[in-house]
Chain A
Amino acid sequence: MTTSWVGRPVARVEDPRLLRGEGRYLDDLGQGALAAAFVRSPHAHARVLDVDVDGALDLEGVVAVYTYDDLVESDAVDGTRVAEPLPLLIPHPGLHAPRTPYRWRGPRSTTLARPW
């Protein structure tokens, strides 16, 4: 069997499904789905020590409330990896360092930039 795909048409595996009307586009899903609401801290800079969900669970129509603790449990029980911290993202210097030998001269200048 040749390993080269160059120069040969490659049959798309998804075509028959899409042509039969059996695609699963976002708007095709969710029939009978529940609605979710995300609650964030009302404080811009604070440490979340505890989340009390009792009052929320008492509301009529509320099916479930999930907090970070549930993610930890999910990881332990189901082997998911949803409670892991986000990776520390450090932008490459090339993305924010000046790319030209021009310097910002400050808002009082009528000339935005000039060669240094």
Chain B
Amino acid sequence: VTGEQLVPVRLRVNGVERTVEVPGRRLLSDALRHDLRLTGTHVGCEHGVCGACTVLLDGEPVRSCLVLAAGVDGHDVTTVEGLAAPDGTLHPVQQAFVDCHGLQCGFCTPGFVLTIAAFLRDDPDPDEDAALEAVSGNLCRCTGYQNIKAAVLRAAELARERPASPDRTPG
């Protein structure tokens, strides 16, 4: 409508090659939600404070509202939709949130889950302080964080219990 120039972007989302044509100013969060219709990624503050829009970019957690879609050409993105195993089994972090009542409304949850998945890949056996520190960049207005901290520790436990399950977290 605006006659804005479009940029072709090729990216791999949850293991699938996708191509979108977006204006240069399109945020990665909007490209995922609107262009690719992956609405599991939530936009809370849209300026990098709340962490709800966190996705994994080449395996590392990033706030997708602070990344331009045009900047991820050729890169690998994992969203919350891509975390469960192909057979539908929840990722240990997702299961831990169920076990520990780590969510109420669930709006902030995708950002937490991806943040924690990347954290536990690097630190598979954290103590309580490390678990809390790991989620300190994500805001949740429902839970009071105690159950989320418990979910981090529970997820570490679950990952140890079922090491055979493929870790779909890239990187």
Partner-B contacts on A (CB < 8 A) = 9, 11-12, 14-16, 18-23, 25, 27-28, 31
Contact = CB atoms under 8 A, between A and B. Distances in A.
A23 B98 contact: no
A19 B38 contact: no
Contacts of B152: none
Contacts, number: 55
B41 A21 contact: yes
A62 B109 CA distance: 39
A22 B84 CA distance: 12
A15 B40 contact: no
Q: What secondary structure prevails in chain B residues at the interface with A? A: loop
Interface residues on B, range: 20 to 34
Nearest to B112: A19
Contacts of A27: 33, 39, 43
Contacts of B43: 27
Contacts of B81: 20-22
Interface string B80-115: 110110000010001001100101001101100100
A31 B40 contact: no
A16 B98 contact: yes
A35 B40 CA distance: 24
A14 B107 CA distance: 12
A31 B34 contact: yes
